[in-house]
Chains A and B, each alone.
Chain A
Amino acid sequence: MEIDYAKIGLKVGLEIHQQLNTRAKLFCGCPPALFKEEPEITFLRRLRPTQSELGQVDPAAFFEFQKGVKILYEANRATSCLVEMDEEPPHPLNMEAVEAVLTAALMMNMQPIDEVHVMRKTVIDGSNTTGFQRTCIIASDGWIKVGEKTIPIQAASLEEDAARKTGEEDGGKIIRYRIDRLGIPLIEVATAPVIYSPAEAEEVAFAIGRILRDTCKAMRGLGTIRQDLNVSLPNGALMEIKGVQELELISKVVKYEVQRQLVLISIKEELNKRGIKKDALQQQFIDVTEVFKQTRCKVIRKALDKGCGILAVKLPLFSGILKRELIPNVRFGTELADRARFWGRVGGIFHTDEMPAYGITAAEVAALRKATGAGEEDAVVFVADNEENARDALKAVVERAQEALEGVPAETRTAKEDGTTRYMRPRPGAARMYPETDIPPVRLTAELIEKVKAHLPEPAEKKVKRLMREYGLNEKLAKQIVDSEYGLLFESVVRESNVAATTVAAFLTETLKSLKREGIAIEKVTDNQIRDLFKAVGAGEIAKEAASDVFVWLSKNEGKSCQEAAAALGLKMLSKAELAALIDRVIAENRNVVDKLGAKAFGTLMGVVMREVRGKADPTVVNTLLKERLANR
């Protein structure tokens, strides 16, 4: 189905978050780095929602607080100090990060703020040890050109990245967060909601991403850039979609979101047609443990053996609705299940739209319908868990079913790798911000702004022309290199390596793109490793044909050197003597051909030799040497 997005009134706004590769974190001296090993330090905390007169306490966080949820923080000495642990006040704002944001802001024609005030944005899900995220506006009110269209940029902010969730324990009563990421500087760029199609959303994100990379301060790799999308439809709702990690996913996420909202609207129409009223959906939970006493369903059996019961609720006239597919892998039943998981800490739900299945028999379904007083036109949802969780879960299911009567509920959703989204939490109210009194305001002086202006990176169009001129790249390759994540690396590699510019450019664009398509984690290879790789190619230590093999090996063996890669792959270049011996052997083995064709045997023999040396010799050297040996025979 082709959708006319303009006609249906789609509006998208983007918030692009990019980690900055500064020497230190935003508010302390720790390096902006993550760790993979077991934590050296752990500590347990609770966050208490602060009372506010106007801003209501965040409902989701308050709920978690009431449930006694605790947070187990993980840290190590290399990446965190007392500041991230919230055991020491923040140090002054990192000016290197401020300058990076200013650079991007000026490239987006924005007006710097005279005096920057760091704010505390209340976030009590545990992702910040303080209970708030420190953030400040550096510049506002700019624009960029994307194609012919001018996209207004509302604000460029500087904020601290949050801790990353590493797991849950004790049935969701303890949430684990790792604080290595906490405090890494993030630039946030927000556009006005003036994007009207999925493709345009991707183009705008791409344009902003390129500007951020041009500041030379953008980190590279998965997880270093995160796009949040605000997607709204006039008859749907404003949806906040968090954490799209790949640029290429943006249009897909928007497409799916539009589709999801359209199906939810049609479900609403269907439910209204069936004549369901909101108060018919009641929180009447029925214990149906008896029904499943003899069940062969493994999940239920396991829960029963642990002493859990089974609680069910009837959704009158909902039969068939729960299996309606909204987007791939997400049915209406999935939406109910996601709510149940979030509010009830359960593993999932069962419902009659998918029965009989999972070892649940038709007889059991019939008994279930009987126990809940449900007819064929009704749906029944049931949960196997302890009573408290099961009640919370079913309560959330009933609330979500009630919302279906109204259409699309406003939610914060999280983006999955396949472009679909899932319920994350209810939309928080207005941003609850108050001043960070531990950090004095920072004046952005005229001198500072002049200094940043004087060092602004080259605009992309200019750079394409210069690369064509200086390095002899064709326009396509020059554009590709400028658009790629390796635009800055390219020039230093060419300068240092003595490898032809077009070879380097083709490798950094086409080769890497195809490796990425093959599933190689290209972001794991650092800039320095790439530099070393080309230095080795330039010095004749590694054949340029073997460069991609070395690269792939490096991506799978983090922290190793090119030399180690070459040794492991058996790619050590043949010495001239070794090569000569090999050529002589090939000539001897093909004496018939050589005798017959003389010098014309060169083409055939070149092929044979190259197959044998497979990346261990430079073709031009082989060429010369083979000609020489043939001539001197």
Chain B
Amino acid sequence: MSEEAESSGYKGAALRALKKAGCQVGDLIRITKCGKAYEGILIPRSETADAEHVVVKLKSGYNIGIRITPDVEIERVGKGAKPAFASPPLPEQKPELPRVVILSTGGTIASRVDYRTGAVRSALSASDLYGVVPELADIARVETEIVFSLYSENLTQQHWSQLAQRVAEHIARGVDGVVVAHGTDTMAYTAAALSFALQNLPVPVILVGAQRSSDRPSSDAATNLIAAVQAAARAPFAEVAIAMHETVSDTSIVITRGTKVRKCHTSRRDTFKPVNATPLARVHDSEVSMLTSEYQKRDPAKKLVLKPNFSDAVALVKFYPGLDPAVIDWYVERGCKAILLEGTGLGHVSKYCFSAIDNAVKRGVLVALASQCIWGRVNMNVYDTGRDLLALGVEPTEDMFPETALVKLMWIFGQTSDPAEAKRLLKANIAGEFSPRTLPEEFGFQGGDSHGN
């Protein structure tokens, strides 16, 4: 096997046997075992799989794994062709349509399958996207840029900064809207980060992802993307928001403010739910309709204020019965500028943590508190514990859920090191992260009943 082929997951006995037979991934090979011959295309093997099997795609299309034992014979029958993913020609751009840039950060918002080898390739260029989601050509003039190719759990504060800067540059060029394709796991963190970093937006910035990978016909990627581009091109608001399925049906896509949205289900299409808020808008039958009158208006004349810096010296400590308060000491020792406590209920942490908290505050660390209930508002005046924590100098974070509060603290310490200024920023409503009123319908599973349509 060539060096290139070695990267295809084979190791140990299987790799030795394939090397000996001069077989490469994609070749037509024949394996003879116990008098039975299996002929097919050599398929790459998962990195984490064992070293004893060779995977072959039979003529019927099925993959099978054949265990390599000393009596097995491998023979190379023919050379395989490499899958060539030719891009279709770019359709004619309609000059009257708005311009939308799609920035991709990783994952596959669109992909194509090579059924010969079973390989799945991302479709990221504009022409690939048009090929896979041809509807886009009737909505906007789409440009694309690959900013990162990372799973969303691998994105950090530096990536948020870079992404904010790329968005700002495209807006400065005069695009009518920006779409950010993002893995869903940390999409809400990035949405909050961009909400703080991109202020006074003239046009919308819409984050979009998929809960079913785009290589499958039932993927939600295309529907979400179409709606995101539609909103970026035409919606009357100019905020950072997430566009994803409203229900388990493919009928409506809901758009929610970047500081008020959270991933709430591991696998459902309608995993993103507004927290202590209602959605901004809904896209249904290619129409964007606003669901609230309280939003920042689209206005190309507005001047974007870019504040892209984030601090990584901020920590989240989730309180649980039995938490070791030494964790708090450890963060303080490490030079953390802020610690967000994820407290219980209205905003509580056990008494046995008080001295560690007191020490942190005295050492100049900003200690804030959000509730692990996710929904609802922190109120530390109701019980003694809350009042004691306030007395220690712990800052409540209103109706921000922990992830948004954490990202806000990271952003604050990217702007200032001054404790007084940091406290002022924490209390200021910068990107719609606070709502003074919480309405009864703003809880839990809104719009996501199983009757999807």
Q: Given the known inter-chain contacts A50-B113, A53-B114, A116-B64, please indicate yes or no for A130 contacting B217, CB distance below 8 A.
A: yes
A50 to B212: give the CA distance in the assembly, Å.
Answer: 13
**Which B residues touch A251, using CB under 8 A?**
none
- Give the interface centre of B83, B118, B120, B216 by most chain A CB atoms within 10 Å: B216
Measured in the bound complex, the distance between the Cα atoms of B285 and A44 in whole Å is 13
Judged by a CB distance under 8 angstroms, whether A493 is at the interface is no
Chain B residues within an 8 Å CB radius of A52 = 112-115
B45-65 contact mask (Cβ, 8 Å, vs A): 1 or 0: 010010001010010111111
Residues from chain A with Cβ under 8 Å of B248 in the complex: 43, 85, 87
Chain B residues within an 8 Å CB radius of A435:
43, 63, 118
CB of A52, distance to nearest CB on chain B (Å): 5
Flag if A433 contacts B268 (CB, 8 Å): no
Which of A44, A111, A155 is close to B249, meaning CB atoms less than 8 Å apart?
A: A44
Task: Given A41-B451, A53-B112, decide whether A47 and B218 contact each other with a Cβ distance below 8 A.
Answer: yes
Q: Are B452 and A42 in contact (CB under 8 A)?
A: yes
Which A residues touch B267, using CB under 8 A?
Answer: 82, 87-89
Instruction: Say if the beta carbon of B450 comes within 8 Å of chain A.
Output: yes
Provide the bound-state CA to CA distance between A111 and B34, in Å: 10
Which one of A117-125, A305-313, A623-631 is at the interface? A117-125
The smallest C-beta distance from A238 to any residue of chain B, in angstroms, reads 16
Whether a CB of chain B sits under 8 angstroms from the CB of A45 is: yes
The answer to the question of B320 belonging to the interface, with a C-beta cut-off of 8 Å to chain A, is: no
The answer to whether A441 touches B453 (Cβ under 8 A) is: no
* Among candidates B36, B67, B249, residue contacting A43 with C-beta atoms closer than 8 Å: B249
Pair A48/B219 contact, Cβ less than 8 Å: yes
Does B180 have its Cβ within 8 Å of any Cβ on chain A?
no
Interface residue? B350 (CB, 8 A): no
Contact A433 B67 (CB under 8 A): no
Bound complex: CA A42 to CA B60 (Å):
35
Given contacts A51-B112, A53-B114, contact A122 B453 (CB under 8 A): no
Smallest CB gap from A130: residue in B = B218
In the bound complex, do residue B36 and residue A141 qualify as a contact, i.e. CB atoms below 8 Å apart? yes
Residues of chain A contacted by B219 (CB below 8 angstroms): 48
Is the CB–CB distance between A155 and B60 below 8 Å? yes
B156 at the interface (CB under 8 A from A): no
Q: Is A290 an interface residue (CB 8 A)?
A: no
Tell whether, in the assembled complex, residue B66 and residue A433 are in contact, meaning their CB atoms are under 8 Å apart: no
> B207-245 CB contact bits vs A (8 Å, 1 = yes)?
000001001111100110000000000000000000000
A48-B222, A434-B115 as given contacts; A119 in contact with B63, CB under 8 Å: yes
> Is B143's beta carbon under 8 Å from chain A?
no
- Check B251 for interface membership: any CB of A closer than 8 A: yes
Once the chains are docked, how many angstroms separate the CA of A135 from the CA of B60?
Answer: 12
A433 touches B216 (CB 8 A): no
- By a CB distance below 8 angstroms, the chain B residues around A114 are 53, 64-67
Contact A51 B132 (CB under 8 A): yes
- Assess whether A131 is in contact with B118, with CB atoms less than 8 Å apart: no
> What B residues does A89 contact at CB under 8 A?
267
Given the interface contacts A46-B223, A113-B65, does A441 sit within 8 Å of B49 by beta carbon?
Answer: yes
Asked whether, in the complex, the Cβ of A132 is within 8 Å of the Cβ of B49, the reply is: no
Inter-chain CA distance A509–B191, complex, in Å, is 69
Q: Establish whether residues B61 and A119, one from each chain, have CB atoms under 8 Å apart when the complex forms.
A: yes
Q: Which of A50, A54, A441 has the most CB of B within 10 A?
A: A50
Q: In the complex, which of the residues B49, B64, B120, B453 contacts A137, with contact meaning CB atoms closer than 8 Å? A: B64
Contact A124 B217 (CB under 8 A): yes
Are B65 and A137 closer than 8 Å at their CB atoms? no
Q: Which residues of B contact A431 (CB under 8 A)?
A: 60-61
Residues of A within 8 A of B131 (CB): 51
Give A187 Cβ to nearest chain B Cβ, in Å: 15
A225 to B65, CA, bound (A): 29
Nearest chain-B residue to A154 (Cβ)?
B60
Chain A residues with Cβ below 8 Å from B450 are 40-41, 43
Give chain B nearest CB distance to A108 CB in angstroms: 15
Q: Which residues of B contact A137 (CB under 8 A)?
A: 58, 60, 62, 64
Q: Is B123 an interface residue (CB 8 A)?
A: yes
In the complex, what's the smallest C-beta–C-beta distance from A225 to chain B, in angstroms? 22
When chains A and B are docked, how far (Å) is the Cα of A49 from the Cα of B131? 12
The answer to whether the Cβ of B99 comes within 8 Å of any Cβ in the partner chain is no
Closest to A137 in B: B62
Cβ of B269 under 8 Å from chain A? yes
Quick check: B115 and A119 within 8 Å, CB to CB?
no
| Residues of A close to B184: CB separation below 8 A | none
Does B116 lie at the interface of the complex (its beta carbon under 8 Å from any beta carbon of A)? yes
Q: Is B85 an interface residue (CB 8 A)?
A: yes
Chain A CB within 10 Å, residue with most, of B67, B217, B218, B267: B217
Partner of A42, one of B67, B222, B451: B451
User: Contacts A111-B34, A130-B217; is A44 near B64 (CB within 8 Å)?
Assistant: no
Within B249-279, the residues touching A (CB, 8 Å) are 249-251, 266-269
**A86 in the interface (beta carbon within 8 A):** yes
Contact of B115 among A113, A129, A140, A432 (CB under 8 A): A432
For residue B286, give the distance in angstroms from its CB to the closest CB of chain A.
12
Q: Is the CB of A434 within 8 A of B65?
A: no
Most buried by A among B66, B118, B132, B268: B118
Smallest beta-carbon distance A343→chain B, Å: 21
Contacts of A14 in B (CB 8 A): none
**Is there contact, CB below 8 Å, between A131 and B216?**
yes
Contact for B64 among A45, A50, A115, A129, CB less than 8 A = A115
Chain B residues with Cβ under 8 A from A577's Cβ?
A: none
CB of A482 within 8 A of chain B? no
* Chain B proximity of A385: nearest CB distance (Å): 25
Given A54-B116, A115-B53, check contact A86 B249 (CB 8 Å).
no
B301 at the interface (CB under 8 A from A): no
Contact of B251 among A44, A47, A141 (CB under 8 A): A44
**Do residues B217 and A132 form an inter-chain contact, with CB atoms below 8 A?**
yes
Residue of B nearest to A446 (CB): B67
**Chain A 263-301 interface residues, beta-carbon cutoff 8 Å to B:** none
For the complex, what is the distance from the CA of A365 to the CA of B180, rounded to whole Å?
62
Residues in A91-135 with C-beta less than 8 Å from chain B: 111, 113-117, 119-122, 124, 129-132, 135
Of the candidates A87, A115, A140, A440, the one whose C-beta lies within 8 Å of that of B268 is A87
Q: Roughly how many angstroms separate A131 CA and B58 CA in the complex, as a whole number?
A: 22
**Are A43 and B216 neighbours in the complex by a CB distance under 8 Å?**
no
Interface residues of A in 4-47 (CB under 8 A from B): 40-47
Q: How far is the CA of A82 from the CA of B248 in the complex (A)?
A: 10
Contact with B along A36-78 (1 / 0, CB 8 A): 0000111111111111111100000000000000100000000
Nearest CB in chain B to that of A86: its residue: B218
CA–CA, A555 to B131, complex, Å? 55
A132 contacts across to B, CB distance below 8 A: 216-217
Q: Is A430 among interface residues, defined by CB-CB distance under 8 A?
A: yes
Q: Are A122 and B217 in contact (CB-based, < 8 A)?
A: yes
Tell me how far the C-beta of A230 lies from the nearest C-beta in chain B, rounded to whole angstroms.
Answer: 13
- A157 vs chain B, min Cβ distance (A): 8
Known: A114-B67, A115-B65, A434-B118. A47 touches B34 (CB 8 A): no
Q: Is A136 an interface residue (CB 8 A)?
A: yes
Top 7 nearest A-B pairs (CB, nearest first) are A131-B217, A115-B65, A43-B452, A433-B61, A114-B67, A431-B61, A434-B118
Binding site for A on B (CB under 8 A): 34, 36, 43, 46, 49, 53, 55, 58, 60-67, 83-86, 111-116, 118-120, 123, 131-132, 212, 215-219, 222-223, 247-251, 266-269, 450-453
Name 28 A/B residue pairs within 8 A (Cβ), A-sorted. Answer: A41-B450, A43-B248, A43-B450, A44-B249, A44-B453, A52-B114, A52-B115, A53-B115, A53-B116, A54-B114, A82-B268, A86-B218, A87-B269, A88-B268, A111-B36, A113-B66, A114-B53, A115-B66, A117-B65, A119-B63, A140-B36, A155-B60, A431-B61, A432-B113, A433-B61, A434-B119, A441-B55, A443-B65
A residues adjacent to B (C-beta < 8 A): 40-55, 70, 82, 85-89, 111, 113-117, 119-122, 124, 129-132, 135-137, 140-141, 155, 157, 430-435, 440-441, 443
Beyond known contacts A46-B223, A119-B118: 10 more, CB 8 A cutoff: A50-B111, A52-B112, A88-B266, A111-B36, A116-B64, A117-B55, A137-B64, A441-B49, A441-B53, A441-B65
